[in-house]
Structure 1
Amino acid sequence: VRLCRTAVDVLAQYGPSTPEVLDTQIDGLGIDASFTNDVEVVNAPFGLYPQPIIHLSSEIQTSVLEWFNFLGKFVAQALVDERLLDLPFALPFVRALTGESLLPDTTTALKHVSAIDPDIGRSLTFLYTHQDDASIDDMGLAFVLIGNADVELKENGADIPVTCANVKEYVTLTLEMLLNTSIAKQVSAFRKGFNTIVPESVLSYFTASEWVDLISDSSTELWPRGAEELKAFMVCDHGYTNESRAIQWLIEILVDFSPEEQRLFVRFVTGSHRLPLGGLSKLDPTLTVVKKLSPDELSNDDDMLPSASTCTNYLKLPDYTSKELMRTKLLYCIHEGQLSFHLS
């Protein structure tokens, strides 16, 4: 994901003068505090990991490093404000941010590469474990980075073929490039940005897995305690009580939702598909469900759709005549109503 330029400019201009900078200064200027405006979405199924930039011009490198510096500030400020971010960093990248070496030994390094890109991990593992395989000489490999022929692993690497005699060196240099050389500047820029708001020594206080939970919450269920949690932290008002039939059905439906459907529901009601650290108990304002009334005598509840006020985490739910109809209407709204805005 590429963060929008406006977000960088605002934070650079106003700075983290208060712990609530994301809430007050940026929201006050009408800019989405989650910085998801004007984004380019990339496919990173195994997490976000820096691309090599060492082969690029110094001007481009400087620009990229500015982004990583800002990203460090952004993550640090989110931690201060107890916000969860939609930034699924690859675990090896987080390990590097904490100061952990990704190259303690070849076996561990290969596992890290597999976590970033399983295909590359399998290829390197095969080469490392089959160094005497004569077919290596015929693979047409050269001493350049897999997937990026512009990055040479050694001087004139593009002209040096990989053979059984030098394949071990090839694997070693590839691991060094992927896990150290190609990301060192980005990691340093991130840490420097982080340090402007939170001391970078804090990065070593937690394990990489713990940082992933702190930054983006890797849990699959949004209400792991099920109905008990929903009943405890959901307010029913304006026509509904905790004992209302519609509320009982709603809770059963939400518990039965898949993790992805739960996130879509939360996004429909709150505007964010993640709950704050601490889950429903920390949602502010509290999740509130009220009865949605028919606009006129000719309409009935079964004809209406649920609606939401994301500013107040308010769900307006018609009193449907069946649980299955309620589920159908909710699923329609959370899938089709994510990008719409209406007065209700």
Structure 2
Amino acid sequence: MYGVIVSDGFPFLKEIGQKLVKDLVQSFESDTSSGPFRQDVVDFSAFLQPILSLIEKKLAAAASSRIAKEKTDPLADEVNHLFLIFSDLLCWIDKCLHKLELCLALNSDVEIYTSRWSQCLAILKELHSISRLYPGSDDRFQTTMRQYKAGIRILILKYAKRADDNSWLIKHKDALDFESKRHLAMLLFPEVTEDYDELFEMLIDRSNLLAESYEYIYKAESSSLHAGLFMQFKDEEATGPECPVCFLPFRPSKYFKFSGKVVALALMHKIQVGVVLDRIFFLQLAGRRVSLEDIRDADPCIYNSCKKILEMDTDFVDSDALGLTFVTEVEELGTIKSVELCSGGKDIAVNSRNRRKYVDLIVQHHFVTSIADQVSSFAKGFRDILNYGVFHGTFFKSLELEDLDWMLHGSESEICVEDWMSHTEYNGYEKSDPQIVWFWEVVRNLSPEQRKTLLFFWTSIKYLPIEGFRGLASRLYIYKSSDPEDFLPSSHTCFYQLCIPPYPSRDVMRQRLLVITQQHVGCSFGTY
């Protein structure tokens, strides 16, 4: 049966593979070529996957039974030719990516080449599957991925879609830059709708922000949150999209699932909330094991104690001078109690042979087992916001902690005024008007914290994306207000609009801006 499937399907696979190679050669050598066609790649995958699966099964069976592959194997030619197809395709994709990166370096119009090689990412996916079959091929494939990060980044940002299976790229995330990984992670969320009629409305008492936000979001259907949140405070005129404060879990609380939803919503809507996840918490969400080195910053005391136990002289440990058994102490509601790290732990002395196991159990108990329920609840809330069927661990596995920090917290850099100016447009004012000139002169002389407060007053955003103002969903706007000069500036935060009256002098402009850049004014959400 195996031979029939491979022998019958392989001629078609060979023919399509040769056509893909020919298309890549022509697209590399001729500026008029359109490159490989999508349907050819789809057909190549359709024939490849069942053949590849059967070949892998046969090779695995042969390896487990230690039966050497015979030279007379009737499928040897097909297996060898599949390797030739892999080599030819990888060779020409390598050349195409090299040419694409040369265009990037020369600031040439890359649109021609990206559209010509729009199927390269899909071909790479199939080559990734084949590379697992032949010794050394996986290294060749990874070398190509690492060598052409910029070219692959362009292809990912332009052609990786929600409907695609992008999971293979996670296995090569060390070859991807931050923007590529962020894009792939964001594809795991539903597409954000821009319909303001679909916003999830919340009427909140500011003095009871957490509890009332929890009631709204925790009980809401996940699909109703995808368009974003529209918050209005009771007895206040201020309204606008906002993300509630997120309380990250480090102790028992009913807010874990709520926190998971809020963090996911912030990521989905690209809102930098100025918080980061603890490394240990992140590792567990990603399904990775927590090691001793991972707890270094989380609990220096336990870390240093465990390190000393591992580094102590063997004879000293075996003398039972430490007096340790497989028991640890934990605090519950102000009471210290002893907990066995394993069955019969109180009767097992720590010695040089089992001390590494003891240390590992200490780490797992204090930083994994003790917060397993909280992590699980947070993960459930996070998963509720992802696309249906997407496992939450897939999202966290696709990123490193530093990537997630940049996405969730935002930039740590001071706000660049020149970048701010280049992403600001004017309505009622001209760029050369005195009021605009005075405005930017004053902004340049503000402290970093005052600039953050002004940005928050203007947009309800206090932390910029890692790439600065170009990472925002919209440009910023300064409108000429009809208010008299004794009025303060106002803002429409959800539209990134700052409204400034035509102040008569630079000093007046400065005085008005200094008022709204006071923390209690600019961050009070007293805008609309």
Question: TM (normalized to structure 2)?
Answer: 0.45
User: Structure 1 pair 111/305, CA: closer, same or farther in 2 (3 Å)?
Assistant: farther
Q: What is the CA–CA distance in structure 2 between the aligned matches of 1:101 and 1:273, rounded to whole Å?
A: 34
Q: Does 1:337 align with 2:521?
A: yes
User: Structure 1 pair 113/343, CA: closer, same or farther in 2 (3 Å)?
Assistant: closer
Q: One-letter code of the match for 2:407?
A: L
Q: CA deviation at 1:204?
A: 1.9
User: Structure 1 pair 111/129, CA: closer, same or farther in 2 (3 Å)?
Assistant: same
Equivalent residue, structure 1, for 2:259:
71
Equivalent residue, structure 2, for 1:50:
250
Q: Is the 8 A contact 2:326 2:342 kept in 1?
A: no
Q: What is the CA–CA distance in structure 2 between the aligned matches of 1:229 and 1:221, rounded to whole Å?
A: 12
Equivalent residue, structure 1, for 2:278:
90
User: Structure 1 pair 197/336, CA: closer, same or farther in 2 (3 Å)?
Assistant: closer
Equivalent residue, structure 2, for 1:289:
478
Q: What is the CA–CA distance in structure 2 between the aligned matches of 1:27 and 1:335, rounded to whole Å?
A: 21
Q: Does 1:220 align with 2:404?
A: no
Q: Is the 8 A contact 2:285 2:396 kept in 1?
A: yes
Q: What is the CA–CA distance in structure 2 between the aligned matches of 1:336 and 1:247, rounded to whole Å?
A: 25
Q: What is the CA–CA distance in structure 2 between the aligned matches of 1:81 and 1:307, rounded to whole Å?
A: 24
1:184 to 372, 383, 388: 372
Q: Does 1:144 align with 2:355?
A: no
Q: Does 1:115 align with 2:302?
A: no
User: Structure 1 pair 311/81, CA: closer, same or farther in 2 (3 Å)?
Assistant: closer
Q: Is the 8 A contact 1:91 1:212 kept in 2?
A: no
Q: Deviations over 1:96-120 (max 9, x none)?
A: 2112211xxxxxx333212223454
Q: Does 1:22 align with 2:228?
A: yes
Q: Deviations over 1:116-136 (max 9, x none)?
A: 2345434443454346789x9
Q: Is the 8 A contact 1:137 1:163 kept in 2?
A: no
Q: CA deviation at 1:11?
A: 2.9
- RMSD (CA atoms): 4.8
Equivalent residue, structure 2, for 1:61:
none
Q: What is the CA–CA distance in structure 2 between the aligned matches of 1:172 and 1:248, rounded to whole Å?
A: 62
Q: What is the CA–CA distance in structure 1 between the aligned matches of 2:417 and 2:491, rounded to whole Å?
A: 21
User: Structure 1 pair 261/143, CA: closer, same or farther in 2 (3 Å)?
Assistant: farther
Q: Is the 8 A contact 1:268 1:334 kept in 2?
A: no
SS of equivalent residue, structure 1 residue 116? coil
Q: CA deviation at 1:28?
A: 11
Equivalent residue, structure 2, for 1:204:
397
Q: One-letter code of the match for 1:129?
A: E
Q: How does 1:252-263 map to 2 (within 5 A)?
A: 254=443, 259-263=448-452
The total of aligned residue pairs comes to 303
SS of equivalent residue, structure 1 residue 289? strand
Identity of aligned residues (%): 21
For structure 1, the residue ranges without an aligned partner over 5 or more in a row are 42-47, 54-63, 103-108
Equivalent residue, structure 1, for 2:122:
none
Q: One-letter code of the match for 1:337?
A: V
Q: One-letter code of the match for 1:321?
A: R
Q: Does 1:234 align with 2:424?
A: yes
Larger Rg: 2
Q: CA deviation at 1:235?
A: 2.1
Equivalent residue, structure 2, for 1:34:
243
Q: CA deviation at 1:268?
A: 2.5
Equivalent residue, structure 1, for 2:211:
5
Equivalent residue, structure 1, for 2:12:
none
User: Structure 1 pair 321/338, CA: closer, same or farther in 2 (3 Å)?
Assistant: closer
Q: One-letter code of the match for 2:360?
A: T
Q: One-letter code of the match for 1:35?
A: P
Q: Deviations over 1:121-160 (max 9, x none)?
A: 34443454346789x9699999435777347354899999
SS of equivalent residue, structure 1 residue 337? helix
Q: Is the 8 A contact 2:330 2:339 kept in 1?
A: no
Q: What is the CA–CA distance in structure 1 between the aligned matches of 2:417 and 2:341, rounded to whole Å?
A: 59
Q: Is the 8 A contact 1:269 1:309 kept in 2?
A: yes
User: Structure 1 pair 35/124, CA: closer, same or farther in 2 (3 Å)?
Assistant: same
User: Structure 1 pair 247/147, CA: closer, same or farther in 2 (3 Å)?
Assistant: farther
Q: Is the 8 A contact 1:234 1:289 kept in 2?
A: yes
Q: What is the CA–CA distance in structure 2 between the aligned matches of 1:120 and 1:72, rounded to whole Å?
A: 28
Q: CA deviation at 1:15?
A: 1.0
Q: Is the 8 A contact 2:491 2:497 kept in 1?
A: yes
Equivalent residue, structure 1, for 2:36:
none
Question: TM (normalized to structure 1)?
Answer: 0.65
Q: What is the CA–CA distance in structure 2 between the aligned matches of 1:151 and 1:249, rounded to whole Å?
A: 67
Q: What is the CA–CA distance in structure 2 between the aligned matches of 1:249 and 1:119, rounded to whole Å?
A: 53
Q: What is the CA–CA distance in structure 2 between the aligned matches of 1:151 and 1:260, rounded to whole Å?
A: 47
Q: CA deviation at 1:248?
A: 4.2
Q: Is the 8 A contact 1:94 1:212 kept in 2?
A: no
Q: CA deviation at 1:246?
A: 4.9
Q: Is the 8 A contact 1:254 1:262 kept in 2?
A: yes
Q: CA deviation at 1:267?
A: 1.8
Q: Is the 8 A contact 2:324 2:350 kept in 1?
A: no
* Higher fraction of helix: 2
